[in-house]
């Protein structure tokens, strides 16, 4: 059986939730990649969202999870890519 590959990205406000989701994915043995953010300090979220979206668009990962405090910023960036919704 093929192992599900999931990528994650977030802004600083989504950091703690992203960490919880990654911990769960590790428990169920998914392959994961964390594109950042890597702390809850203020960041420029497109730096993390663009690489996540490119990895999904190219098929490197099966799914991507983008998280931000408002629910809008990170998602506006990733939705500019084909195959991302």
> Any idea which residue has 């989504």 for tokens?
14
Longest Cα–Cα distance of the chain, Å, equals 40
* Alpha carbons 83 and 85: distance in angstroms, whole number: 7
**Active-site annotation holds for 68:** yes
Is the bond preceding 45 in cis, omega lying within 30 degrees of 0?
no
* Catalytic position from the list 56, 68, 77, 78: 68
**Annotated catalytic sites, by residue?**
68
């Amino acid at each position: 059986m093929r192992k599900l590959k999931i990528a994650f990205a977030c802004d600083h406000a989504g950091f703690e939730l992203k960490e919880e989701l990654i911990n769960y994915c590790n428990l169920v043995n998914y392959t994961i990649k964390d594109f950042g953010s890597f702390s809850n300090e203020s960041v420029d979220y497109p730096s993390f969202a663009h690489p996540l979206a490119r990895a999904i668009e190219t098929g490197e990962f099966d799914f991507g999870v983008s998280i931000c405090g408002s629910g809008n910023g990170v998602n506006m960036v990733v939705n500019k890519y084909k195959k991302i919704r």
